[in-house]
Structure 1
Amino acid sequence: MSEIESQLITQINKQLPDANALLEKTVNINSGTMNFDGVEKVGRVYQQQLNEIGLETKWIKGTAFDRAGHLVAHYGTRGPKILMIGHLDTVFEKDDGFQRYEKRDNQNVAGPGITDMKGGDVIMIEVLRALKHTGLLENMSVRVVMTGDEERSGRPLSESKKAIIEAAKWADIALGFEDGDGNIETAVVARRGSVNWQLDVTGKPAHSSQIFSDEVGYGAIFEAARILNSFREKLSNLGDLTFNPGVILGGTEVEFDEQTASGNAFGKNNIVAKTLTVRGGIRALTPQELTQAKAIMQQITQQHLLHTQAKLTIADGYPPMAPRPGNYALLKQYSAVSEDLGYGVVEPVNPRNAGAADISFAAEHVDMALDGLGLMGSGGHTKDEVADMSSFTKNMHKAALLMYRLSVQQPD
């Protein structure tokens, strides 16, 4: 490493006690997606930190998409345009039993959202602080977007993801500080997109003794079974795509509550089912995979059994972060930084091991994108979420050096 790079690492190390305190403080603030006050409270804490560093910040209210809102910030007009992406919300709501930061030993700390992704948020802040302190931030243009609805996106997506998309259209490079697959030896060059679908089926109700007859037909449940099994046969070997029906309710009467993702069904053994609903999801690595899957599903749905009807609705969702050459080039630079620091080679994550994330909305608009630069650990989205704090310092070092090297490699 160069002398200035060594100074940058030294500065990050000086910041560590305060960085740990900031992480503990914000992990102890519940910010489940639907706890709007908590999400904004975490955002305001980070906003103060970014203001102190010298960034211009703004809190975007989420009224238009029924969420708490987003924190955005920017700095500089020179050098490469870098977008840094994080999120403020977690999957743990106010009534969840998992609420507090807890040290397990010298290396491991448990806490709601500590890896997904308040650890990554703090890494972003401390990298910017170190770059500013060493004078290196002056040679780059940075935008920060920390969303308040990554775990449960607001609707419409055109409003809830507007801040990220606008920043990405401005940027050359997007860096995501999620935890990837939790392995410090990997980073994310590709993520599968995620969209939800709904299948609603109707049949002709009648006494069950008449099922399969020309007058009654097959009923809603047999039609749904045909459709779902055909989906399985046609989609299970389509590239990196996966398809999953998550909940199904069928019978004479069906009720489903979108907010609680639960419902009720009434039916009898001797009555042909009148109605059925299925809710599920699709994950695809490329836009082409997703387009092909949608076409196959609609074609299957429209081939009705006798006296049945079915409607398939596929919602907007997270687009794929496709594995583009620029992403691999950025990973190569990040891996070189890691090796120069003595932390070893960084390999690409298997896309099946990393879920959808906000960087997917940015990736198609930038020259290169890389995610999984945050705090590593295990047990994300569960009460066993534990951070490996050795990765906290290392990934600060790596992200800071990557951004510095990007700034000196490209002209103003």
Structure 2
Amino acid sequence: MISKLQYKYLLFSIVLCISILGGAQNNRKEKQIIKAVDNYTASAIDLIKESVNINSGTMNFEGVKNVGRLFQKKLDKLGFKTVLTDGEEFGRAGHLMATRTGKKGPKILMIGHLDTVFELDSSFQEYSMLNDSIMKGPGVADMKGGNVIIILAMQALKEAGLLDEMSIEIVMTGDEEKSGTPLALSKKAFIDAAKRADIALGFENGDNNPKTIVVSRRGSTDWQLKVTGNSAHSSQVFTEATGVGAIYETSRILNAFYEQLAKEKDLTFNPGFIIGGTTLQPHEDGTGGHAFGKTNVVSQQTIVRGDLRAVSLEQLQKAKSTMQNIVSNNYPKTKAELTFSSGGYPPLTRTEGNLTLLGYYNTVSQDLGFGSVTAVNPRNAGAADISFTSAYVDMAIDGMGLTGGGGDHTINEKGDLNTVATQAKITAVLLYRLVNSKF
């Protein structure tokens, strides 16, 4: 017979051994993941180089499809069921969709995009190495590097024997930089994937700092202000019959926007152009126009176009309401109409779920020796496809792609190839722990 004290020590020892054995098993799996990433990193960098040298400006449909086919082959070899969708109905190339269905853990959506801002007429068409690790090239960071990090993480999980148990859907859109229309069709396949997912992971490059992750992004929508007044000889301005004219009323409205909304945290509203006078000829594409007027004639018309960026749906609606109230309180003998576009990108709202997922990511990063990771200031993160998941998934973070460069959307776009392996290791270990409830 053993005493109660001896029994307690025995029970404690059994639990401790189980814990140590379980921890060792987890550690072995994670070491296998790390080793596999290291084994495949060189070929991953070659894949980045190959994809960067394929022009895939949004409107170069064949180029976008060619990049999609390149990544599709890699995912096919990993056992994903893949399809390149047809984007004809929304005027774009289409998307790459890849799925694997497992029996464990949450359903994961991984997000990339195939297109870049560099069209066929750009002078920026091929990569070059600035040193042994910094690559300069069209789309290297935004976001062909991020697409390859997704594939590298999948290769590592496959090599470690872990991919089969995971439910993962990868969507690489073909029109992130210049969305097709109507937006409801352009983003339908992507939103449907978000509805099937529990967690969304975006592989844009965030603010080009590997020590930060995006937990919220500001949405973007366009607005148009049209103002009319009474045209008359300038000597009659401010009279009861003539009023103040369209330009004065427009100035009042824009100034009131600034006074009432400029101090709202993370909110911006920018009038991109204004034309005003006696007669107007606006461009059909909404990029400007021509105005005719004379110094001795009270202005009759103005048009202003701009954008509005907010960090949450609540902030967006509040700003729209404030702007409409300002527009409705007109100067004498003027009328004003403010309209907002039906499209645009929604905000990726900062939620407790997103912050929890950031915490998991931070834990993995520190455990692997890469240091702590904090949230990006949303002012430093523009609109992106992941924002369309905000209403459907429990957790979402972005900025997991190739980083450390800068110059996005310019002929100086760069990326630090040293971050390829780092980001892939964090991604793969994060997925392993999420699927196996290791947090």
| TM-score tier after normalising by the smaller chain length | over 0.9
- Counterparts of 2:227 and 2:53 in 1: how far apart (Å)? 45
- Counterparts of 2:148 and 2:286 in 1: how far apart (Å)? 32
Q: In the TM superposition, what is the alpha-carbon distance from 1:28 to its structure 2 partner?
A: 1.3
Q: Could you say if the C-alpha distance between residues 94 and 207 of structure 1 is closer, same or farther in structure 2, counting changes exceeding 3 Å?
A: farther
Q: In the TM superposition, what is the alpha-carbon distance from 1:387 to its structure 2 partner?
A: 0.6
Task: Tell me which residue corresponds to 2:363.
Answer: 336
- Counterparts of 2:227 and 2:165 in 1: how far apart (Å)? 59
Contact 2:41 2:420 in 1 (8 A): no
- Are 2:423 and 1:398 aligned? no
Deviations 1:308-332 (A, max 9, x none): 2211111132111111111111111
* Partner AA of 2:48 in structure 1: L
Task: Tell me which residue corresponds to 2:347.
Answer: 320
Larger radius of gyration: 2
Mean Cα deviation higher: 267-276 or 79-88: 267-276
- Are 2:43 and 1:18 aligned? yes
Task: Tell me which residue corresponds to 1:212.
Answer: 238
Mean Cα deviation higher: 268-277 or 355-364: 268-277
Q: In the TM superposition, what is the alpha-carbon distance from 1:200 to its structure 2 partner?
A: 1.5
Q: Gapped runs of 5+ residues in structure 1?
A: none
Q: In the TM superposition, what is the alpha-carbon distance from 1:112 to its structure 2 partner?
A: 1.2
Q: In the TM superposition, what is the alpha-carbon distance from 1:409 to its structure 2 partner?
A: 0.6
Task: Tell me which residue corresponds to 2:314.
Answer: 288
Mean Cα deviation higher: 282-291 or 299-308: 299-308
Q: In the TM superposition, what is the alpha-carbon distance from 1:250 to its structure 2 partner?
A: 1.7
Q: SS at the partner of 1:359?
A: helix
Q: Could you say if the C-alpha distance between residues 258 and 27 of structure 1 is closer, same or farther in structure 2, counting changes exceeding 3 Å?
A: farther
Q: In the TM superposition, what is the alpha-carbon distance from 1:260 to its structure 2 partner?
A: 7.5
The count of corresponding residues between Structure 1 and Structure 2 is 411
Contact 2:274 2:288 in 1 (8 A): no
Q: What TM-score do the two structures reach when normalised by structure 2?
A: 0.90
Task: Tell me which residue corresponds to 1:36.
Answer: 61
Q: SS at the partner of 1:254?
A: strand
Q: Could you say if the C-alpha distance between residues 351 and 104 of structure 1 is closer, same or farther in structure 2, counting changes exceeding 3 Å?
A: same
Q: Could you say if the C-alpha distance between residues 111 and 225 of structure 1 is closer, same or farther in structure 2, counting changes exceeding 3 Å?
A: same
Q: SS at the partner of 1:2?
A: helix
Deviations 1:193-232 (A, max 9, x none): 1111111122222222222222222222111111111111
- Are 2:197 and 1:171 aligned? yes
- Counterparts of 1:410 and 1:59 in 2: how far apart (Å)? 34
Q: In the TM superposition, what is the alpha-carbon distance from 1:110 to its structure 2 partner?
A: 0.6
Q: Could you say if the C-alpha distance between residues 325 and 394 of structure 1 is closer, same or farther in structure 2, counting changes exceeding 3 Å?
A: same
Task: Tell me which residue corresponds to 1:347.
Answer: 374
1:188 to 214, 227, 243: 214
- Are 2:432 and 1:407 aligned? no
Listed as ranges, the matches of 1:131-146 within 5 Å are: 131-146=157-172
Q: In the TM superposition, what is the alpha-carbon distance from 1:174 to its structure 2 partner?
A: 0.3
Task: Write out the 4+ residue segments of structure 1 that deviate beyond 4 Å after TM superposition.
Answer: none
Q: In the TM superposition, what is the alpha-carbon distance from 1:258 to its structure 2 partner?
A: 5.2
Contact 1:176 1:359 in 2 (8 A): yes
- Counterparts of 1:253 and 1:106 in 2: how far apart (Å)? 58
Deviations 1:120-168 (A, max 9, x none): 0111111112212222111210001111111122222211111221111
- Counterparts of 1:209 and 1:35 in 2: how far apart (Å)? 55
* Partner AA of 1:388 in structure 2: D
- Are 2:414 and 1:389 aligned? no
* Partner AA of 1:56 in structure 2: K
Contact 1:81 1:171 in 2 (8 A): yes
Contact 1:191 1:322 in 2 (8 A): yes
Q: Gapped runs of 5+ residues in structure 2?
A: 1-25
Q: Could you say if the C-alpha distance between residues 264 and 38 of structure 1 is closer, same or farther in structure 2, counting changes exceeding 3 Å?
A: farther
Q: In the TM superposition, what is the alpha-carbon distance from 1:58 to its structure 2 partner?
A: 1.3
Q: What TM-score do the two structures reach when normalised by structure 1?
A: 0.96
1:4 to 29, 36, 51: 29
CA-atom RMSD in angstroms: 1.7
Contact 1:239 1:289 in 2 (8 A): no
Contact 1:255 1:264 in 2 (8 A): yes
- Counterparts of 2:275 and 2:362 in 1: how far apart (Å)? 48
Q: Could you say if the C-alpha distance between residues 148 and 256 of structure 1 is closer, same or farther in structure 2, counting changes exceeding 3 Å?
A: farther
Q: In the TM superposition, what is the alpha-carbon distance from 1:410 to its structure 2 partner?
A: 7.5
Mean Cα deviation higher: 56-65 or 224-233: 56-65
